[in-house]
Amino acid sequence: MALALAVTASAQGQEPLNVHDCMAYAISNSTKIRIQQAAVGDAQIARRDAALLLFTPQINASTYAYYNFGRSIDPQTNTYFNTTSFHNNYGVSAGIDLFDGFKAVNNYKISKTGMLIASSQEKQVEADICLAVMEAYYNVVYYKRLCDVYEEQVAVAEQALKKAKRQEELGQKGHADVIQMEADLIDRQYELTNTRNYYNDQKMTLADLMFWPLDEELNIVTEMPDQVGHDGTTIVIPGLTRNPDEIVSFALEHNPSVQIASWQAQNAKRELNTAKWQLLPSLGLYAGWNTSYYSYQGAATAPFGEQFRNNGGEYIQLSVSIPIWNRMSRQSAISRKRNALNKATAELDQKRRDVESEVRRAIQDRDGSALAYEQAQHKAEVQAEAYTLNLKKLEQGLISPLEFQTANNNFLKAQADEMNSLFKYLIKQAVVKYYNGVEYVNQ
């Protein structure tokens, strides 16, 4: 089920896209979604064919015409003759299987389940795309904000170096301090360049995931998220919004991957039952009508219309087919279907175990990342204050440039850790909400 992009202006680069816009655009334009939609179309056709096979008869019409130049039998006298003759036949027939080992019934049920599987697979593809887009989006925002931090650091370092050179001219600073500050500026510029490269790389990754036009610039919102989430809740939550067992139970019942595995196991069981019923006789009912026209060279025959009426005949047929020996093919089919059922059942058990582990791990990661973000916030506040004090000390000559560089590195790391822990928490929180029944694009 593809979603239309809500903001057309954003698609043309006129307005920046937020993370939900990016996910909606990716769903609307992804080739994976188009491929899965084609699979849904195939499933719809299979369901239609199964319904027609179950509820409607097969109807055929036929005709043929031929000349006979050799010896043949006169249909009137039932004797041989050697005259060239022309024969023309018309027929209509219909037939329906009264009992085929419930094959048509089970195929119809399988086709209905196949529709559910195809739809769930499309939802699963959408979820995978949304999660990948979300991770790439936050990576872009992270490196963009880190670029802003390094740009501020480069500006401060340039100003400090300019002031230090002036102080060196006045004899207030030594040449070694100036060289150290110049080296610190070069380090900041180098880190800024690397960070910009990472930013451009992640932006290209995001554009590829969204299937964004290559000749258009992708413009996204790069501001840090507010302290209030998309749904109005506070970002940092202790993780006690719902009992983990309740989330696990909900995911095991409604998660697309578990549903797909469960429906596949159901279909495997139906196919096994169908194979077993094929050992029984099959019963069919057929009916038809036909007529013919013939003529002989050099002989008078009745007109076409008269023969068409007089030669017409109807028939009704009830047939029974009893399987006796077919080189063990039916028994082999039963064995294969039984193995397929065992495989599907095992895959369902494995998928349920995987989803339960993923849910519990996601809840654990969300709660851990929430606590880490709180600690990173506090560390960033403390390091920001320490950086401000050390900057004043550097200006007053109370600390060396090397000591200031250490304090500056600590401040930069604290800012990077705060942003990284925030984005990690937002992703983990989104994963838990997804397992709790809220699609990524609706969060």
Give 71-98 pLDDT, tens digit per residue: 777 666 777 777 788 889 999 999 999 9
Confidence of residue 3 (pLDDT cuts 50, 70, 90): very low
d(CA 345, CA 266): 9
d(CA 163, CA 213): 47
Distances (CA, A) of 324 to 97, 284, 334, 338: 19, 18, 16, 22
> How close are the terminal C-alpha atoms of the chain, in Å?
17
- pLDDT higher than threshold 70 for residue 226: no
pTM: 0.79
Confidence of residue 242 (pLDDT cuts 50, 70, 90): low
In the three-class reduction of DSSP (H, G, I as helix; E, B as strand; rest coil), residue 68 is classed as strand
d(CA 315, CA 260): 48
**Contacts for 43 with CB less than 8 Å, ≥ 6 apart:** 111, 114, 115, 117, 118
User: pLDDT (tens digit, 9 = 90+) per residue, 32-71?
Assistant: 999 999 999 999 999 999 999 999 999 999 999 988 887 7
Token pair for residue 216? 């258009």
- pLDDT higher than threshold 50 for residue 256: yes
Burial of 109 (0-12, 13-18, 19+ CB in 10 A): middle
d(CA 283, CA 320): 5
